[in-house]
Chain A
Amino acid sequence: AQKITQTQPGMFVQEKEAVTLDCTYDTSDQSYGLFWYKQPSSGEMIFLIYQGSYDEQNATEGRYSLNFQKARKSANLVISASQLGDSAMYFCAMSSSGAGGTSYGKLTFGQGTILTVHP
């Protein structure tokens, strides 16, 4: 069974500062994917970034980067230069992957971290 743990119920950051949101995972699968989603107060789920378990480089997408430490089973999200619009709930999630580039699809989510950006 897969498990995602986000230990920070809430985080605060000053505008323009960087912030790290923690995520640890547990799985017996050799091949898996890790995702981060953002859920603003309006409720929609917005995909931010993806990291594959065999990717050697940490994933980056604009101001988002994923600090992937496989041995520690952690996949922390780093947001650089925080903006007021970054205030939202952030979810870490994982899926298992099969051979041949296929995904098993099923996503397991953590409990989420509420990020508040102060001006």
Chain B
Amino acid sequence: DAGVIQSPRHEVTEMGQEVTLRCKPISGHDYLFWYRQTMMRGLELLIYFNNNVPIDDSGMPEDRFSAKMPNASFSTLKIQPSEPRDSAVYFCASSLVKIGTEAFFGQGTRLTVV
């Protein structure tokens, strides 16, 4: 398996524009997570899915953020409209339900909003 695949790797956009981040989890994994990493706040869990169903979105900062998982092999995180304070590295990760198995992370998307 190629691991968790995120696209794009880098995104630069202007304030007010819509941004869509994409993630393909590892086949067969039950959980999918979206994390955001910043210097100030570290790694924050934004939302996670179990079998394509959103379980906990309490980490989504504002209504400008939305996430979907239309099927087991694809998820998106959308920011509309984007703001400079959204600049961060966004990680997608996936894991199994089984205890003791780690979450596998994608390479991350570095988002810069100017």
A and B: real partners? yes
* Partner among A37, A103, A105, A112 whose Cβ is within 8 Å of the Cβ of B42: A112
Which residues of chain B in 88-109 are interfacial with respect to chain A, using CB atoms and an 8 Å cutoff? 89, 91, 93, 95-105, 107-108
- Nearest-neighbour CB distance to chain A for B45, whole angstroms, equals 6
B18 CB within 8 Å of chain A? no
A45 CB within 8 Å of chain B? yes
Query: For B50, B103, B105, which residue has the most chain A Cβ atoms within 10 angstroms?
Result: B103
Instruction: Verify A103–B107 contact, CB threshold 8 A.
Output: no
| Beta-carbon nearest neighbor of B29 in chain A | A105
* Partner among A44, A97, A105 whose Cβ is within 8 Å of the Cβ of B95: A105
Which residues of chain A in 52-111 are interfacial with respect to chain B, using CB atoms and an 8 Å cutoff? 52, 91, 97, 101-103, 105-111
Chain B interface residue count, Cβ-Cβ cutoff 8 angstroms: 28
- Nearest-neighbour CB distance to chain B for A91, whole angstroms, equals 7
A111 CA to B105 CA, complexed, in Å: 17
A119 CB within 8 Å of chain B? no
B43 CB within 8 Å of chain A? yes
A-B contact pairs, 16 of them (CB 8 A): A31-B99, A43-B89, A44-B107, A44-B108, A45-B91, A45-B93, A103-B95, A103-B97, A105-B48, A106-B33, A106-B48, A106-B56, A107-B45, A107-B93, A107-B103, A108-B45
B residues apposed to A, CB below 8 Å: 30-31, 33, 35, 42-43, 45, 48, 50, 55-56, 89, 91, 93, 95-105, 107-108, 110
